[in-house]
Protein backbone atom coordinates (compact mmCIF):
# COMPACT_ATOMS: atom_id res chain seq x y z
CA UNK A 1 0.00 0.00 0.00
CA UNK A 2 1.33 3.39 -0.97
CA UNK A 3 1.70 6.07 1.64
CA UNK A 4 -1.27 8.45 1.70
CA UNK A 5 -3.59 6.19 -0.28
CA UNK A 6 -7.02 5.08 1.05
CA UNK A 7 -8.79 1.82 0.41
CA UNK A 8 -12.44 2.18 -0.51
CA UNK A 9 -14.80 0.12 1.59
CA UNK A 10 -17.37 -1.64 -0.51
CA UNK A 11 -20.52 -3.46 0.61
CA UNK A 12 -23.17 -5.28 -1.31
CA UNK A 13 -26.88 -4.87 -0.59
CA UNK A 14 -29.03 -7.76 -1.64
CA UNK A 15 -32.80 -7.91 -1.98
CA UNK A 16 -32.98 -9.99 1.21
CA UNK A 17 -31.21 -7.29 3.21
CA UNK A 18 -33.65 -4.69 1.87
CA UNK A 19 -36.63 -6.73 3.10
CA UNK A 20 -35.07 -7.11 6.54
CA UNK A 21 -34.50 -3.35 6.71
CA UNK A 22 -38.12 -2.67 5.82
CA UNK A 23 -39.26 -5.14 8.48
CA UNK A 24 -37.15 -3.32 11.09
CA UNK A 25 -38.64 0.00 10.03
CA UNK A 26 -42.15 -1.38 10.27
CA UNK A 27 -41.49 -2.76 13.75
CA UNK A 28 -40.05 0.56 14.85
CA UNK A 29 -43.04 2.38 13.40
CA UNK A 30 -45.41 0.03 15.20
CA UNK A 31 -43.58 0.66 18.49
CA UNK A 32 -43.83 4.41 17.97
CA UNK A 33 -47.55 4.21 17.19
CA UNK A 34 -48.24 2.01 20.21
CA UNK A 35 -46.24 4.43 22.36
CA UNK A 36 -48.26 7.35 21.10
CA UNK A 37 -51.52 5.50 21.77
CA UNK A 38 -50.41 4.53 25.26
CA UNK A 39 -49.45 8.13 25.93
CA UNK A 40 -52.82 9.35 24.71
CA UNK A 41 -54.64 6.81 26.85
CA UNK A 42 -52.54 7.77 29.86
CA UNK A 43 -53.37 11.42 29.28
CA UNK A 44 -57.09 10.67 28.95
CA UNK A 45 -57.05 8.50 32.07
CA UNK A 46 -55.03 10.82 34.30
CA UNK A 47 -55.37 14.36 33.00
CA UNK A 48 -58.22 14.69 30.56
CA UNK A 49 -61.15 16.82 31.74
CA UNK A 50 -63.46 14.27 30.13
CA UNK A 51 -62.81 11.90 33.07
CA UNK A 52 -63.13 14.44 35.88
CA UNK A 53 -65.49 13.68 38.78
CA UNK A 54 -68.85 15.23 38.04
CA UNK A 55 -70.71 14.24 41.22
CA UNK A 56 -70.43 12.38 44.51
CA UNK A 57 -73.47 10.31 45.45
CA UNK A 58 -73.99 9.40 49.13
CA UNK A 59 -76.42 6.63 50.08
CA UNK A 60 -77.70 5.74 53.55
CA UNK A 61 -80.02 7.00 56.27
CA UNK A 62 -81.30 10.35 54.96
CA UNK A 63 -80.77 12.06 58.33
CA UNK A 64 -77.15 10.92 58.42
CA UNK A 65 -76.53 11.78 54.76
CA UNK A 66 -77.65 15.35 55.54
CA UNK A 67 -74.80 15.56 58.06
CA UNK A 68 -72.30 14.01 55.65
CA UNK A 69 -72.83 16.24 52.59
CA UNK A 70 -71.38 19.46 54.13
CA UNK A 71 -68.23 17.56 55.17
CA UNK A 72 -67.30 16.41 51.66
CA UNK A 73 -64.63 18.54 50.00
CA UNK A 74 -63.20 17.54 46.61
CA UNK A 75 -61.07 19.83 44.36
CA UNK A 76 -62.68 20.93 41.11
CA UNK A 77 -61.89 18.80 38.05
CA UNK A 78 -60.57 15.93 40.15
CA UNK A 79 -59.69 13.06 37.83
CA UNK A 80 -61.55 9.78 38.38
CA UNK A 81 -58.36 7.73 38.53
CA UNK A 82 -56.64 10.21 40.85
CA UNK A 83 -59.59 10.85 43.17
CA UNK A 84 -58.45 10.67 46.86
CA UNK A 85 -60.70 7.78 47.88
CA UNK A 86 -59.11 7.39 51.31
CA UNK A 87 -59.45 11.09 52.09
CA UNK A 88 -63.08 11.07 51.00
CA UNK A 89 -63.79 8.12 53.25
CA UNK A 90 -62.09 9.90 56.17
CA UNK A 91 -64.19 13.01 55.60
CA UNK A 92 -67.38 10.96 55.74
CA UNK A 93 -66.34 8.89 58.77
CA UNK A 94 -65.49 12.12 60.64
CA UNK A 95 -69.25 12.54 61.10
CA UNK A 96 -69.97 11.03 64.56
CA UNK A 97 -73.16 9.30 63.38
CA UNK A 98 -71.21 7.34 60.71
CA UNK A 99 -69.73 4.00 61.69
CA UNK A 100 -68.26 3.06 58.28
CA UNK A 101 -68.20 4.51 54.77
CA UNK A 102 -67.57 2.57 51.57
CA UNK A 103 -66.43 4.66 48.57
CA UNK A 104 -66.13 3.34 44.99
CA UNK A 105 -65.60 4.75 41.50
CA UNK A 106 -68.77 4.69 39.41
CA UNK A 107 -67.53 5.32 35.87
CA UNK A 108 -67.48 7.39 33.87
CA UNK A 109 -67.72 10.47 36.12
CA UNK A 110 -69.21 9.65 39.52
CA UNK A 111 -68.02 8.56 42.96
CA UNK A 112 -70.48 6.60 45.09
CA UNK A 113 -70.35 6.40 48.89
CA UNK A 114 -72.46 4.08 51.03
CA UNK A 115 -72.81 5.16 54.66
CA UNK A 116 -73.34 2.75 57.55
CA UNK A 117 -74.69 4.63 60.56
CA UNK A 118 -74.01 3.88 64.21
CA UNK A 119 -76.68 1.98 66.11
CA UNK A 120 -77.50 3.43 69.56
CA UNK A 121 -77.85 1.39 72.74
CA UNK A 122 -78.47 4.29 75.14
CA UNK A 123 -79.41 7.97 75.19
CA UNK A 124 -78.25 11.06 77.08
CA UNK A 125 -81.05 13.59 77.35
CA UNK A 126 -80.41 17.29 77.50
CA UNK A 127 -82.71 20.29 77.54
CA UNK A 128 -83.46 20.47 73.81
CA UNK A 129 -81.86 17.39 72.28
CA UNK A 130 -81.15 13.71 72.74
CA UNK A 131 -77.61 12.41 72.26
CA UNK A 132 -77.33 8.78 71.27
CA UNK A 133 -74.60 6.42 72.47
CA UNK A 134 -73.36 3.36 70.58
CA UNK A 135 -71.81 0.23 72.17
CA UNK A 136 -68.32 1.72 71.80
CA UNK A 137 -69.27 4.81 73.79
CA UNK A 138 -69.35 7.17 70.79
CA UNK A 139 -71.86 9.99 71.30
CA UNK A 140 -73.72 11.18 68.21
CA UNK A 141 -76.95 12.82 67.14
CA UNK A 142 -79.57 11.95 64.54
CA UNK A 143 -82.18 14.69 64.04
CA UNK A 144 -85.63 13.51 65.08
CA UNK A 145 -84.34 10.45 66.94
CA UNK A 146 -85.08 11.01 70.64
CA UNK A 147 -84.00 7.55 71.69
CA UNK A 148 -87.39 6.45 73.00
CA UNK A 149 -87.15 2.94 74.42
CA UNK A 150 -83.40 3.21 75.03
CA UNK A 151 -81.91 3.33 78.55
CA UNK A 152 -81.16 6.86 79.62
CA UNK A 153 -77.68 7.52 81.00
CA UNK A 154 -77.15 10.25 83.58
CA UNK A 155 -74.06 11.28 85.47
CA UNK A 156 -72.09 14.04 87.08
CA UNK A 157 -70.09 14.74 83.90
CA UNK A 158 -72.76 14.21 81.26
CA UNK A 159 -74.04 17.76 81.18
CA UNK A 160 -73.84 19.79 77.98
CA UNK A 161 -70.73 21.66 79.02
CA UNK A 162 -68.71 18.61 80.09
CA UNK A 163 -69.73 16.02 77.53
CA UNK A 164 -66.52 16.41 75.49
CA UNK A 165 -64.27 15.88 78.51
CA UNK A 166 -62.22 12.80 79.38
CA UNK A 167 -64.22 12.46 82.61
CA UNK A 168 -67.45 12.22 80.61
CA UNK A 169 -65.95 9.54 78.33
CA UNK A 170 -64.85 7.52 81.36
CA UNK A 171 -68.28 7.86 82.93
CA UNK A 172 -70.03 6.69 79.76
CA UNK A 173 -67.68 3.70 79.53
CA UNK A 174 -68.49 2.71 83.13
CA UNK A 175 -72.23 3.02 82.61
CA UNK A 176 -72.07 0.93 79.44
CA UNK A 177 -70.14 -1.78 81.26
CA UNK A 178 -72.96 -1.95 83.84
CA UNK A 179 -75.55 -2.10 81.06
CA UNK A 180 -73.78 -4.99 79.36
CA UNK A 181 -74.02 -7.09 82.52
CA UNK A 182 -77.64 -6.30 83.38
CA UNK A 183 -79.10 -6.54 79.88
CA UNK A 184 -78.06 -10.20 79.65
CA UNK A 185 -81.25 -10.93 81.60
CA UNK A 186 -84.49 -9.69 79.96
CA UNK A 187 -86.05 -9.23 83.42
CA UNK A 188 -83.51 -6.49 84.11
CA UNK A 189 -84.33 -4.24 81.15
CA UNK A 190 -83.52 -0.77 82.41
CA UNK A 191 -85.11 2.57 81.62
CA UNK A 192 -82.48 4.69 83.37
CA UNK A 193 -78.98 4.22 84.73
CA UNK A 194 -77.44 7.05 86.69
CA UNK A 195 -74.58 8.07 88.91
CA UNK A 196 -75.91 9.73 92.02
CA UNK A 197 -74.06 11.38 94.85
CA UNK A 198 -70.78 9.85 96.03
CA UNK A 199 -70.55 7.91 92.75
CA UNK A 200 -73.43 5.63 93.73
CA UNK A 201 -75.10 3.81 90.84
CA UNK A 202 -78.87 3.73 90.59
CA UNK A 203 -80.92 1.78 88.06
CA UNK A 204 -84.58 2.07 87.17
CA UNK A 205 -86.17 -0.98 85.55
CA UNK A 206 -89.00 -0.84 83.02
CA UNK A 207 -90.83 -3.32 85.21
CA UNK A 208 -90.92 -0.78 88.05
CA UNK A 209 -88.31 -1.40 90.76
CA UNK A 210 -85.53 1.03 91.54
CA UNK A 211 -82.23 -0.49 92.64
CA UNK A 212 -79.23 1.02 94.37
CA UNK A 213 -76.09 -0.73 93.11
CA UNK A 214 -73.41 1.13 95.00
CA UNK A 215 -70.19 0.95 92.97
CA UNK A 216 -69.22 -1.07 89.92
CA UNK A 217 -67.88 -4.05 91.87
CA UNK A 218 -69.58 -7.46 91.95
CA UNK A 219 -71.93 -6.47 89.14
CA UNK A 220 -72.72 -10.03 88.10
CA UNK A 221 -73.64 -11.01 91.66
CA UNK A 222 -75.86 -7.93 91.99
CA UNK A 223 -77.59 -8.66 88.69
CA UNK A 224 -78.27 -12.29 89.65
CA UNK A 225 -79.61 -11.24 93.06
CA UNK A 226 -81.91 -8.59 91.57
CA UNK A 227 -83.25 -11.06 88.97
CA UNK A 228 -83.85 -13.67 91.68
CA UNK A 229 -85.68 -11.14 93.86
CA UNK A 230 -87.96 -10.15 90.97
CA UNK A 231 -88.56 -13.82 90.14
CA UNK A 232 -89.49 -14.66 93.72
CA UNK A 233 -91.54 -11.61 94.71
CA UNK A 234 -92.78 -10.22 91.40
CA UNK A 235 -91.70 -6.90 89.90
CA UNK A 236 -95.02 -5.20 90.72
CA UNK A 237 -94.52 -5.79 94.42
CA UNK A 238 -91.00 -4.38 94.69
CA UNK A 239 -90.45 -0.65 94.98
CA UNK A 240 -86.81 -0.44 96.01
CA UNK A 241 -83.85 -2.80 96.33
CA UNK A 242 -80.50 -1.95 97.87
CA UNK A 243 -77.71 -4.08 96.39
CA UNK A 244 -74.74 -1.98 97.46
CA UNK A 245 -73.55 -5.01 99.41
CA UNK A 246 -74.97 -8.23 97.92
CA UNK A 247 -74.43 -10.02 101.23
CA UNK A 248 -76.62 -7.52 103.09
CA UNK A 249 -79.18 -6.66 100.40
CA UNK A 250 -82.69 -5.61 101.35
CA UNK A 251 -85.86 -4.50 99.60
CA UNK A 252 -88.94 -2.40 100.25
CA UNK A 253 -92.42 -2.98 98.89
CA UNK A 254 -93.96 -0.68 96.30
CA UNK A 255 -96.51 0.70 98.75
CA UNK A 256 -93.96 1.92 101.28
CA UNK A 257 -91.88 3.62 98.59
CA UNK A 258 -94.94 5.42 97.16
CA UNK A 259 -96.07 6.55 100.58
CA UNK A 260 -92.61 7.87 101.39
CA UNK A 261 -92.56 9.86 98.14
CA UNK A 262 -95.92 11.54 98.85
CA UNK A 263 -95.00 12.75 102.31
- CATH class held by domain 122-262: alpha beta
Block mean pLDDT (10 aa), the chain, length 263? 48 57 64 49 54 91 96 89 93 97 92 96 92 97 94 91 90 96 95 87 95 94 96 93 94 71 49
User: Given this chain, do its domains 52-117 and 122-262 carry the same CATH topology?
Assistant: no
Determine the pLDDT at residue 127: 82
Determine the pLDDT at residue 28: 64
Determine the pLDDT at residue 44: 52
* 123 in Cβ contact with 130 (< 8 Å): yes
Indicate the angle between helix axes 219-233 and 166-182, nearest 10 degrees. Answer: 50
Q: Where are the domains of the chain?
A: 52-117, 122-262
Determine the pLDDT at residue 52: 87
Phi and psi at residue 202, to the nearest 5°? -135, 135
In degrees, to the nearest 5, what angle opens at C-alpha 122 toward C-alphas 191 and 102? Answer: 155
Strands, E assignment, the chain: 55-59, 98-106, 110-117, 122-125, 130-133, 139-140, 152-154, 190-195, 201-205, 210-214, 238-242, 250-253
Q: Which CATH number fits domain 52-117: 3.10.20, 3.30.160, 3.15.10, 3.40.50?
A: 3.10.20
pTM confidence score: 0.78
Determine the pLDDT at residue 88: 95
Amino acid sequence: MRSGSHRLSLSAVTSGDTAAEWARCLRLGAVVVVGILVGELAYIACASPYLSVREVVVRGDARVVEQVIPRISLPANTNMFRAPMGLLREQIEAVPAVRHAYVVRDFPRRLSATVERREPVAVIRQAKRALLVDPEGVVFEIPGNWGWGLPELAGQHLSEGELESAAASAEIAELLSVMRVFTLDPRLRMSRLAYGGDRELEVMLYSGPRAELGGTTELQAKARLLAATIEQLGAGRIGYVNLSDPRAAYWRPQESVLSAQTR
